[in-house]
Amino acid sequence: MEVSQRVPKAVLCLLSALQFHQIGTQMPHEMWIALPAGTQSPALDYPPLRIARLKGAAYSEGIETVTLHGVPIRVYTVAKTVTDCFKFRQKIGLDVALEALKDAWRARKITTADISHFAKINRVDKVMQPYLEAMVA
């Protein structure tokens, strides 16, 4: 909540968004936020932050605002978060991305249309295609 108040452009993403949406088993040691490319890094002592820099639609699409304890928190939707995991698989691990995809699919929190939409925006549609085909089959 403090990050949302002090960094208005921040969007909860990747491992923090997975935890927020109760997908997977990841417990991040840092708060993962997305900021527009070119934005200055916030100077916060706590909580520790990991920042993903995104451009254009990759930053602006798929944001939902949830109010917790009277504080608006911006977080990416489940489908956007799953595709972000594939985009940043070198940082968080392919195993985390696959777990997120499987858990979100089993919990019926995503549709193939949503995943396809955000996969194209994140330019990971070809990377994700074999995994989606295996799950849908």
90-117 pLDDT, tens digit each: 999 999 999 999 999 999 999 999 999 9
Task: Tell me the pLDDT band of 42, cut-offs 50, 70 and 90.
Answer: confident
Read off φ and ψ for residue 34, nearest 5 degrees.
Answer: -105, 140
pLDDT of res. 69: 87
| pLDDT higher than threshold 80 for residue 1 | no
Task: Tell me the pLDDT band of 125, cut-offs 50, 70 and 90.
Answer: very high
| pLDDT higher than threshold 80 for residue 2 | no
Q: Tell me the pTM.
A: 0.92
* Rounded to 5°, angle at Cα 59 from 103 and 80: 15
pLDDT of res. 73: 93
pLDDT of res. 15: 97
- Among residues of the chain, what percentage have pLDDT more than 70? 100
**Identity of the residue numbered 124:** V
Handedness of CA 22, 110, 102, 92 (dihedral sign): negative
Task: Tell me the pLDDT band of 80, cut-offs 50, 70 and 90.
Answer: very high
Mean pLDDT for the stretch of residues 52-72 = 94
Residue 79 contacts residue 111 (beta carbons within 8 Å): yes
Task: Tell me the pLDDT band of 136, cut-offs 50, 70 and 90.
Answer: confident
* Boundaries of every domain in the chain: 2-136
